[in-house]
C-alpha cells in the first residue's frame, strides 16, 4: 500500500512506544520499572523529533533539540533513582504499595 | 537502505516491549540498552549523525550504568521479584493492549489518509554552527541541569551518618 | 540603554554568582550567613524588576529584547525578552523567594548549603522560563524548575517527604512527556519553535486548527500544562507534595512554582493560538471544576498545610477562568490574581511555619484558642483569609473583581455568576480553619505556647502590610494601566 510510507510507519511505532511507556508507568508495582517506562516514552519522543527534522529538512535544529532532551533524560533518571534508593532504605523493598502515609 | 530502516524500526519496538514485559530488572536494563542502540542506528540512517552518537553513548551507556547501580544498591534477590510484586498479573493485559492499539492506529492512518511528505535533503554540515550559535539558551539550561544532577547525587545518595 | 541591559542581565547572572560564592568559600562560614546570601539575591531581583518597570515605562517601550554575553556569536534574533507580564512574574518570584528565605532561617537546621544551591537553580529556572523567546527553551527551563523542586522536596529524606516527592516525580514526568510530544508535532508542522516564527506561520484569527497534527499537539501541550498547574482532575500530586515538604519549600512551591510552570505555559499557548474557541471552552470548564472541587476538598481536611494546598488548587481555577476569556482584561486579571495569590498564600504558609515552630503540631483537631497566645500570627492569618475571600480593601478583592469583570465583558455572565458564588466555599473552609485553630479554648498541652519571634514574625508583619497597602493603592495601578492604553 503506497499509503504506508516509512514516515507513517514511524509515527505508528512512536505512538505504540508512548502507549507502552505510559502503560508501564501506570501499572507496575516496582519503582525502578517506572524509570524504564519513562525512558521508553522519551525514546519515542526523540524519534518524533528526528522524524520532524527529516520532514522539514531542518535536521540541524532537530539534532540540537535531541541532544538537549537526552541530557535532561539522563538527569531525570539520576534524580528518580536517588529518591527510589532513599525510599528503599526506609522501607526495605521497592514496592510502591507501601506509600500510604499521605492520605486524604 | 529501506531494509535496514525497517529492521531497526521493528527491533526497536520489539526490544521496548520485551524490556517492559520482562520480570527480571537486569534483563529490562539490557533490553533498554539494546533498544537505544537500535534507535541510534535508525537516527544514523535518517541522517542525524551527531544525535545518533550522543544517543548511543548517553542512553545506551550512561542510563544503563545508573540503572544497574541502582539495582545493585537495592540488593534484591531474583526470586523475591516473582513473589512480592506480582507484576505478572498486572502486566497480563499489556500484549493485548499493544495489539489493539496497533490495529487502532493502522485503521486511523488508513481512514484519515495520513501521509507526510519529506522535503528536499539539505546537507547537515552546519550542526555545529546551529547548535553553538543559535541554541545558546539551551546550553545554559543544560549546564544548570547538570549542576542540579550533581547536587542531587550529593544530597540523595550520601549515607546518613547521624542516624547510625 | 546600557543600564537597562545590565539590569536585565542580572536576573540570570546574580543567582549563578551566588552558587559560585556558595561553593567556593568554606562550608562553616556559608552556613552561618546563608540567609544573607539568598536574601540579597531575592532583594536584588525585586529592585531590578522595579527599576526595569520604571525604566521601560519612562522610555515607552513595551518589549525589551536582549542577549547575554553578546560577544561570543552573531545572531539576528535576541534570546531573551522582557514584557510587562514577564516583569510582574519576576516581581512575584523575588517576593516569594525572599519570604521563603526568611522562613528558612528558622526552620532549616541541616543541609543549608544544598538548600542555597537548589534555591538558586530554581530561581534561574523560573527567571529563564518567563524571559525566553523560544518554546523549546521554555521546555528546558521547565525541566530545570521541575528537577530543582523534586530534589528540594526530597532533601530531608523523611518517609513522608520522599513519598510526596516520588508521587510528584511520576506525575510530572508524564506531563513532561506529553508537552514534549506536543512540541515535536508542532515542530513537524511549522519549521521552528521560535515565538516569532510560530506567530507568523500559525493561524491567527482562525477558529479551528488547520491540520490534525496541530490539534493533536494543542491537546497534548495543554494537558501537560494543566498537570503542572494542579488543575482538577490532574491535581492528585499537589496536596501530597506541598504537605510533605519543609514549610519554606512549600511556600516556594505553592506560591510561585505552580504558577510559573503551569499558568505561564498556558498563557503562552493562548497567546500563540489566540482565537481558537476550543481552548477557551476547555479552560473555562477546567477552571470551574477546579474552583468547586478544590474548595469542597479543602472543607474536609484536618491537616493545616493540606488544606492550604487544596486552596491553591481552587485559586488556580480562578486564574484559568480569567485566561479563558482571551481578552486583554482577562490577562490583566489573571496576572493580578497571580500576584495577590502569591502574597496571601505565602502569609498562610508562614503562619503554618510559626504554628509548627511554637506548638509542634499541624493537625487542626489538636489546636485551639491560639488567638491570645499568638496575636501577630492570628491577625496576619485573618488578613490573608479576608484577602482570599475577596473582601475590600485588600488585594484579593481587586483581583477577583477584575476576573469577574473580565468574564462579564467577554460575554459569559453565567461563568461570572458561578465564580462569584464559589467564593462562599472559599470563605467556608477558611472560617472553619480560623475557628479550629485560633478561636475557642486552648487545650492543656498548648497552654505554654508563646508568640513566635524573630524572622518569621517580621515577615508576617511585612506581608500583611504589603497586602493592605497594595489593596488600598490598587486604583492608582488601574489608572496607570488605563493611561498607558492597556485597559
Q: Is the pLDDT of residue B132 over 60?
A: yes
Whether C79 sits inside 8 A of B155 (CB atoms) is no
Q: What is the pLDDT of residue A34?
A: 93
Q: Chains B and C: how many Cβ contacts under 8 Å?
A: 69
**Which residue ranges of chain A lie beneath pLDDT 50?**
1
Under DSSP, is residue C211 helix (H, G, I), strand (E, B) or coil?
Answer: coil
Q: Which of A17, A102, A103 to mutate to test the interface with C (most CBs of C within 10 A)?
A: A102
What rounded mean pLDDT belongs to chain B?
A: 82
**pLDDT tens digits, one per residue of C17-58:** 999 999 888 888 888 888 899 999 999 999 999 999 888 888
Identify the three-state secondary structure at position C235. coil
Give yes or no for residue B2 having a pLDDT over 70. yes
- Find out whether C455 and C103 touch, Cβ atoms under 8 Å: yes
How many Å apart are CA B89 and CA A24, to the nearest integer? 13
Q: What letters, b where the CB count within 10 A reaches 16 and e where it falls short, cover C77-92?
A: eebbbbbbbbbbbbbb
Q: How remote is the C-alpha of C457 from its chain's centroid?
A: 23
Beta strands of C31-92 (E only): which ranges? 64-66, 80-82
Please, what are the domains in chain A? 6-98 (1.10.287.3510)
Length of chain B: 164
Q: Please tell me the distance in Å from B134's CA to the nearest CA on chain C.
A: 7
With an 8 Å Cβ cutoff, are A3 and B110 in contact? yes
So where are chain B's domains? 2-89, 125-164
C122 — pLDDT class (breaks 50, 70, 90) = very high
Compute the nearest-CA separation of C5 from chain A (Å).
Answer: 28
Q: Does B75 touch chain C (CB under 8 A)?
A: no
- Cβ-Cβ pairs closer than 8 A, A with C, add up to 96
Report whether the peptide linkage leading into residue A47 is cis, meaning its omega lies within 30 degrees of zero. no
ipTM of the modeled complex: 0.95
Nearest to C181 among A45, A55, A76 (CB): A45
Question: Which of these, C387, C376, C383, C386, lies nearest to C354 by C-alpha position?
Answer: C376
SS3 sequence, C252-311?
A: HHHHHHHHHHHHHHHHHHHHHCCCCHHHHHHHHHHHHHHHHHHHHHHHCCCEHHHHHHHH
Q: Model's pTM, two decimal places?
A: 0.93
- Residue C359 burial (C-beta neighbours within 10 Å; 0-12, 13-18, 19+): buried
Q: Which of B42, B81, B94 sits opposite A23 (nearest CB)?
A: B94
Going by pLDDT thresholds of 50, 70 and 90, the confidence category of residue C69 is low
Q: Are C309 and C429 in contact (CB under 8 A)?
A: no
Per-residue model confidence (pLDDT) at position A59:
85
Give the best residue of B54, B56, B60, B66 to mutate against chain A (max A CB count within 10 A).
Answer: B66
Straight-line distance from the first to the last Cα atom of chain C, in angstroms, rounded to the nearest whole number: 27
Cβ atoms within 10 A of the Cβ of B146, count?
A: 15
Minimal C-alpha gap between A48 and chain B (Å) = 11
Q: Which three cell numbers stand for residue A46?
A: 526523540
Cα–Cα nearest to B60, from A70, C352, C84: A70
* Residue B94 pLDDT exceeds 50: yes
Q: Which of C169, C184, C244 is the closest to A83 by Cβ?
A: C169
- Provide the residue ranges of all domains of chain C, joining segments of one domain with +: 280-487
Amino acid at each position: 500500500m503506497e499509503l504506508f510510507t516509512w514516515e507513517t510507519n514511524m509515527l505508528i511505532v512512536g505512538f505504540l512506544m508512548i502507549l507502552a511507556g505510559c502503560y508501564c508507568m501506570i501499572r507496575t508495582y516496582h519503582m525502578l520499572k517506572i524509570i524504564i517506562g519513562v525512558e521508553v516514552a522519551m525514546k519515542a519522543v526523540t524519534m518524533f523529533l528526528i522524524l520532524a527534522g527529516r520532514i522539514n529538512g531542518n535536521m540541524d535544529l532537530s539534532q540540537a533539540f535531541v541532544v538537549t532532551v537526552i541530557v535532561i533524560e539522563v538527569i531525570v533518571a539520576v534524580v528518580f533513582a536517588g529518591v527510589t534508593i532513599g525510599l528503599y532504605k526506609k522501607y526495605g523493598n521497592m514496592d510502591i504499595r507501601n506509600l500510604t502515609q499521605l492520605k486524604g | 537502505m529501506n531494509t535496514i530502516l525497517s529492521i531497526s524500526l521493528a527491533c526497536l519496538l520489539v526490544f521496548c516491549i520485551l524490556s517492559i514485559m520482562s520480570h527480571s530488572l537486569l534483563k529490562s536494563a539490557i533490553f533498554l540498552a539494546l533498544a537505544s542502540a537500535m534507535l541510534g542506528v535508525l537516527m544514523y540512517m535518517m541522517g542525524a549523525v551527531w544525535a545518533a552518537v550522543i544517543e548511543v553513548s548517553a542512553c545506551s551507556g550512561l542510563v544503563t550504568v545508573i540503572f544497574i547501580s541502582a539495582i545493585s544498591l537495592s540488593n534484591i534477590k531474583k526470586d523475591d521479584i516473582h513473589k512480592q510484586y506480582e507484576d505478572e498479573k498486572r502486566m497480563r493485559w499489556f500484549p493485548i493492549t499493544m495489539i489493539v492499539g496497533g490495529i487502532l492506529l493502522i485503521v486511523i492512518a488508513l481512514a484519515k489518509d495520513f501521509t507526510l511528505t519529506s522535503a528536499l535533503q539539505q546537507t547537515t554540515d552546519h550542526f555545529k554552527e546551529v547548535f553553538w550559535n543559535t541554541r545558546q539558551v539551551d546550553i545554559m539550561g543544560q549546564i544548570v541541569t547538570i549542576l542540579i544532577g550533581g547536587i542531587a547525587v550529593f544530597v540523595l545518595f550520601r549515607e546518613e551518618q547521624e542516624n547510625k | 540603554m546600557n543600564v537597562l541591559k545590565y539590569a536585565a542581565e542580572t536576573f540570570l547572572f546574580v543567582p549563578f554568582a551566588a552558587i559560585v560564592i556558595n561553593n567556593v568559600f568554606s562550608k562553616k562560614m556559608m552556613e552561618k550567613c546563608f540567609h544573607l546570601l539568598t536574601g540579597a539575591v531575592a532583594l536584588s531581583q525585586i529592585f531590578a524588576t522595579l527599576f526595569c518597570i520604571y525604566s521601560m515605562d519612562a522610555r515607552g517601550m513595551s518589549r525589551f529584547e536582549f542577549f547575554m554575553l553578546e560577544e561570543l556569536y552573531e545572531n539576528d534574533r535576541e534570546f531573551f525578552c522582557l514584557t510587562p507580564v514577564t516583569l510582574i512574574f519576576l516581581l512575584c518570584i523575588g517576593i516569594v523567594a525572599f519570604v521563603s528565605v526568611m522562613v528558612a532561617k528558622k526552620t532549616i537546621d541541616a543541609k543549608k548549603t544544598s538548600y542555597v544551591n537548589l534555591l538558586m537553580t530554581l530561581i534561574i529556572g523560573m527567571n529563564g522560563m518567563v524571559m525566553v523567546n523560544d518554546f523549546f527553551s521554555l521546555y528546558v527551563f521547565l525541566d530545570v524548575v521541575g528537577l530543582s523542586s523534586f530534589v528540594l522536596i526530597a532533601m530531608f529524606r523523611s518517609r513522608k517527604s520522599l513519598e510526596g516527592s516520588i508521587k510528584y516525580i511520576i506525575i510530572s514526568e508524564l506531563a513532561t512527556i506529553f508537552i514534549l510530544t506536543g512540541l515535536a508535532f508542532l515542530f513537524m508542522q511549522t519549521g521552528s519553535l521560535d515565538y516569532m516564527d510560530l506567530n507568523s506561520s500559525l493561524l491567527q484569527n482562525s477558529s479551528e486548527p488547520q491540520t490534525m497534527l496541530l490539534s493533536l499537539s494543542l491537546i497534548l501541550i495543554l494537558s501537560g500544562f494543566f498537570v503542572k498547574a494542579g488543575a482538577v482532575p490532574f491535581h492528585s500530586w499537589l496536596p501530597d507534595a506541598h504537605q510533605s515538604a519543609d514549610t519554606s519549600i512549600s511556600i516556594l512551591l505553592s506560591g510561585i512554582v505552580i504558577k510559573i510552570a503551569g499558568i505561564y505555559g498556558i498563557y503562552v499557548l493562548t497567546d500563540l493560538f489566540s482565537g481558537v474557541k476550543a481552548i477557551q471552552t476547555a479552560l473555562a470548564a477546567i477552571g470551574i471544576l477546579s474552583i468547586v472541587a478544590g474548595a469542597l476538598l479543602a472543607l474536609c481536611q484536618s491537616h493545616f498545610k493540606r488544606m492550604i494546598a487544596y486552596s491553591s488548587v481552587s485559586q488556580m481555577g480562578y486564574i484559568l477562568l480569567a485566561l479563558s476569556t482571551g481578552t486583554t482584561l482577562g490577562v490583566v486579571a489573571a496576572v493580578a490574581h497571580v500576584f495577590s495569590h502569591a502574597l496571601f498564600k505565602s502569609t498562610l504558609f508562614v503562619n503554618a511555619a510559626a504554628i509548627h515552630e511554637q506548638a509542634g503540631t499541624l493537625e487542626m483537631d489538636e489546636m485551639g484558642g491560639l488567638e491570645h497566645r499568638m496575636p501577630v500570627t492570628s491577625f496576619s492569618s485573618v488578613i490573608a483569609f479576608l484577602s482570599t475571600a475577596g473582601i475590600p480593601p485588600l488585594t484579593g478583592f481587586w483581583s477577583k473583581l477584575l476576573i469577574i469583570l473580565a468574564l462579564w465583558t467577554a460575554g459569559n455572565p453565567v461563568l461570572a455568576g458561578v465564580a462569584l458564588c464559589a467564593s462562599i466555599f472559599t470563605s467556608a473552609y477558611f472560617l472553619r480553619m480560623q475557628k479550629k485553630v485560633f478561636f475557642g479554648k486552648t487545650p492543656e498541652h498548648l497552654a505554654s505556647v508563646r508568640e513566635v519571634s524573630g524572622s518569621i514574625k517580621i515577615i508576617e508583619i511585612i506581608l500583611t502590610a504589603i497586602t493592605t497597602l497594595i489593596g488600598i493603592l490598587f486604583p492608582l495601578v488601574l489608572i496607570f494601566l488605563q493611561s498607558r492604553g492597556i485597559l
